[in-house]
Amino acid sequence: MKSDRKIYYESMETDIGLLWIGFTDRGLAKLEFSIRKDQIEKELNRNYDSIVEYNGKESDYKKQISLYFEKKLRNFDIPLDLIGTPFQISVWQELLKIPYGEVRSYKDIAVGVGSEKGFRAVGMANNRNPVSIVVPCHRVIGSSGELVGYGGGIEAKVKLLKLEGLDIIEKERNGNKLYFVS
């Protein structure tokens, strides 16, 4: 679904790698992990008619994300411009209710949006979250406490949760590393 609006984008290095920040005149619209410049441009072109590399003064989006990684900001205070289905947007609104340093299960989120058995649909909505970190899908875990399903990779999810002060336990099963919130 294309928008008649322009989106600006910029990048920044963080403890979890390169982030691309996309914003419109309405708010933050995209926060993407470790992809190449041509990939972010292609992705933005799917939803926007005009994309422009931002070269102005440091944006408020970049400032707040930097403060988050410096452990100086727990709650973002930036407008969001989210494109998604009504269900996706309801899930993303529910994610915004998860406090810094806490986690919820996919089932908890499903119950919160009135779809008690819709935890798989919640997982898909999380996967489509266009502004991870700010809409904190990294704070959603499996019912067993296992860290599962993160678009930026489980290692990034581990780093983000540790940044927020959670204790993460690493276990190994059949040669695979598994991570759990203690």
Cβ–Cβ < 8 Å for 147, 158: yes
SS3 123: helix
- Catalytic one of 98, 131, 135, 137: 137
Q: Which two tokens stand for residue 60?
A: 């408020």
Q: Which residue from 158, 164, 136, 156 is spatially nearest to 17, judged by alpha carbons?
A: 156
Furthest C-alpha separation in the chain: 50
Burial of 92 from C-beta contacts in 10 A (0-12 / 13-18 / 19+): buried
Q: What DSSP string runs through 57-71? A: SPPHHHHHHHHHHTT
Catalytic site includes residue 173: no
Give the separation between CA 145 and CA 181, rounded to whole angstroms: 6
Catalytic residues: 137
